[in-house]
Structure 1
Amino acid sequence: MKKLLLFSLIAGSLTLAACSNDDTVSADKEKETSQSESTQTNQDEKEDGSFYEEGFGQVKVIANGPKEAKKIDMDPMKLELNNIRVVDVELDKEMVEYINDGRETSRGIIIDITAENTTEDDITFDPNQAIIVTDTGEQIESDLGLMGEAGGDSLGKVTKEGSTWWFLDNIDKDVKRITVIISAPYDTQTGESIGEEKRIEFEIE
Structure 2
Amino acid sequence: MKKGIFSLLVALLIALLAACGTEEPSNADEPTDDVEVEENGDEEVPEEDLDEDADTEETTSSDNGWDHQVGDVIENDGGSFTLVSRQDEIDTQETGPIVLNVAQVNATSAQIEGDLANFMETDEIEYIQIDFEVENTSEETITFFAGQATITTNTGEQLESDMWLSDHIDGEYIGAVRKSGSQFFILENSKAEDIEWVRILINAPFDDDWNDLGEDLDFTVEF
Deviations 1:64-93 (A, max 9, x none): 22x413200111110011221100122233
Q: After the TM superposition, which parts of structure 1 deviate over 6 Å for at least 4 consecutive aligned residues?
A: 5-8, 12-15
Q: Show the 5 A alignment for 1:32-51.
A: 45-47=67-69, 48-51=71-74
Deviations 1:105-148 (A, max 9, x none): 11001111100001111111111221110110100100103332
Matched, 1:82 2:103: yes
- What letter is aligned with 1:181? L
Give the structure 2 partner of residue 174 of structure 1: 194
Give the structure 1 partner of residue 135 of structure 2: 116
Taking the aligned partners of 2:68 and 2:138, their CA distance within structure 1 comes to: 40
Q: Tell me, what secondary structure is at the counterpart of 1:186?
A: coil
Q: CA deviation at 1:190?
A: 2.6
- What letter is aligned with 2:165? L
Unaligned stretches of 5+ in structure 2?
Answer: 12-65
Question: Using a 3 Å threshold, how does the CA distance of structure 1 residues 153 and 50 change in structure 2: closer, same or farther?
Answer: farther
Question: Using a 3 Å threshold, how does the CA distance of structure 1 residues 14 and 137 change in structure 2: closer, same or farther?
Answer: closer
CA contact (8 A) 2:10 2:166 kept: no
Q: Tell me, what secondary structure is at the counterpart of 2:147?
A: helix
Q: CA deviation at 1:197?
A: 1.1
**Which of these residues, 159, 168, 184, is aligned with residue 204 of structure 2?**
184
Structure with max Cα Rg: 2
Q: Tell me, what secondary structure is at the counterpart of 1:128?
A: helix
Q: CA deviation at 1:176?
A: 0.7
Matched, 1:130 2:149: yes
Q: Show the 5 A alignment for 1:87-106.
A: 87-99=108-120, 102-106=121-125
Q: Tell me, what secondary structure is at the counterpart of 2:6?
A: helix
Question: Using a 3 Å threshold, how does the CA distance of structure 1 residues 69 and 203 change in structure 2: closer, same or farther?
Answer: closer
Taking the aligned partners of 1:52 and 1:126, their CA distance within structure 2 comes to: 33
- Percent identity, aligned pairs only, is 25
Unaligned stretches of 5+ in structure 1?
Answer: 16-43
Give the structure 2 partner of residue 62 of structure 1: 84
- What letter is aligned with 1:82? A
TM-score w.r.t. length of structure 1: 0.69
Q: Tell me, what secondary structure is at the counterpart of 2:108?
A: strand
Question: Using a 3 Å threshold, how does the CA distance of structure 1 residues 147 and 13 change in structure 2: closer, same or farther?
Answer: closer
CA contact (8 A) 2:155 2:194 kept: yes
TM-score w.r.t. length of structure 2: 0.64
Give the structure 2 partner of residue 161 of structure 1: 180
CA contact (8 A) 2:97 2:138 kept: yes
CA contact (8 A) 1:51 1:59 kept: yes
Number of aligned residue pairs: give it: 167
